[in-house]
Amino acid sequence: MKIGYPCINQRIGCSSGRTFRLRSYSEKRHIETVAGNLDCLLSVLQFNVEHGLLFFRITSDLVPFASHPICSYPWHDVFADRFREIGAFIGEHRIRISMHPDQFVVLNAGDPGVVVNSIRELRYHADLLDLMHLDRSAKIQIHTGGVYGDKEQSMHRFAGRYDDLELPIRRRLVVENDDMRYTVQDCLQLHEDTGIPVLFDAFHHELNGSGEPAGETAALCSGTWRPDDGIPMIDYSSRQPLDRRGRHAETLDRGHFRKFLAETMPLDFDLMLEIKDKEKSALLAAEIAAGDRRLYQA
DNA sequence: CCCTGTCAAGTCACG
DNA sequence: CGTGACTTGACAGGG
């Protein structure tokens, strides 16, 4: 099990997702921003290796506006060497990588323009991982999308669009249950229809499931990953006490986390901690998991 | 320096 | 119909 956190390291004082307003766009500004983001990404990955955190989600803002028409210079070529160096570091230290495009990627949208933009955005994510020469275990996780008043038809539309995707995208894409609309059961159905691996989000499942036990549900999702997809990924969080429904915890809830570990114990997976204080909780979780798993193996 | 309106993009719930 | 939430606030202009 590798443990990780998404996008931002709060300790080392740089951001790999710096951006700027579209109206401030210039090629010079863009190149400077991306160069800074890549430097920071490597620093964060170095920190992670030094601290035993070998799973990381790369921010979608690494290359701002990458799928926007305004970004028309060949950034792939400009930064090819840098991407390769970072990818080599990732490979050398066996770091697991994920990316999570934001809510604007809606593969099953009714509006063809939204679908075109979504595929452009997915192509950017796939290009980035390809430029780093990562194998297909580096994943891009998305949600199913909208329901539009007819879930069955909307799932069917997702399946058709997935089947039609170009291979560099399709080989990396995994689908994750969300907290409002598409449950794990829905995602498992999509796997049946298309073969897409299912990324289990334990927190979303608590909010948007029928009480199926986490361990069994995680095992079902694990069965959807092929060997060259890498070992399954799972997203974990708990609810921020007293806060609104879907709010992620500010810091790791030890009791909740140990219960989750116990429930899923026989399974191997890479665990993404979607907790607000980032590497702080990831470090704590790694410590707890190491202890509990040692206990389990004894 | 601090404050805050606004930011490329979609969907849906809520009031 | 307008606003806020989402996985993640933070840029940029004005005071």
* Residue of A241 and A234 predicted with greater confidence: A234
Q: What is the predicted pLDDT for the residue at A115?
A: 94
What are the φ and ψ backbone dihedral angles of A139, each rounded to 5 degrees?
Answer: -110, 155
Higher-scoring residue by pLDDT: A295, A16: A16
Q: Strand C closer than 7 Å to the CB of A297?
A: no
Nucleotide nearest to A113 (CA to C1'): B9
pLDDT digit string (tens) for A24-68? 999 999 999 999 999 999 999 999 999 999 999 999 999 999 999
CB A57 within 8 A of CB A4: yes
Q: Is the pTM of this model over 0.85?
A: yes
Distance CA A221, CA A215 (A): 10
CA of A215 to C1' of B5 (A): 45
Overall average pLDDT of the A209-233 stretch: 96
Domain boundaries, chain A: 3-291
Give A210-257 as a DSSP string: SS--HHHHHHHHHTT--GGG-SPEEEE--BPTTS-TTPBPSS--HHHH
How does pLDDT run across A140-196, given as a tens digit for each residue? 999 999 999 999 999 999 999 999 999 999 999 999 999 999 999 999 999 999 999
Using DSSP, state whether A63 is helix, strand or coil. Answer: coil
Distance CA A155, CA A283 (A): 38
Q: What span, in angstroms and rounded, lies between the C-alpha atoms of A97 and A16?
A: 15
pLDDT tens digits, one per residue of A7-26: 999 899 899 999 998 989 99
Task: Read off the amino acid at residue A145.
Answer: G
pLDDT of residue A77: 96
Smallest Cα–C1' distance to nucleotide C11: which residue has it?
A20
Task: Flag whether pLDDT at A296 surpasses 70.
Answer: no
d(CA A5, CA A235): 9
SS3 label, residue A13: coil
- Answer yes or no: is pLDDT of A279 > 90: yes
Contact call for residues A58 and A97 (beta carbons, < 8 A): yes
- β-strands A173-176, A3-6 pairing: unpaired
pLDDT at A298: 58
CATH of domain A3-291: 3.20.20.150
Which chain C nucleotides are covered by protein, judged by CB under 7 A? Answer: 5-13
- Summary mean pLDDT of chain A: 93
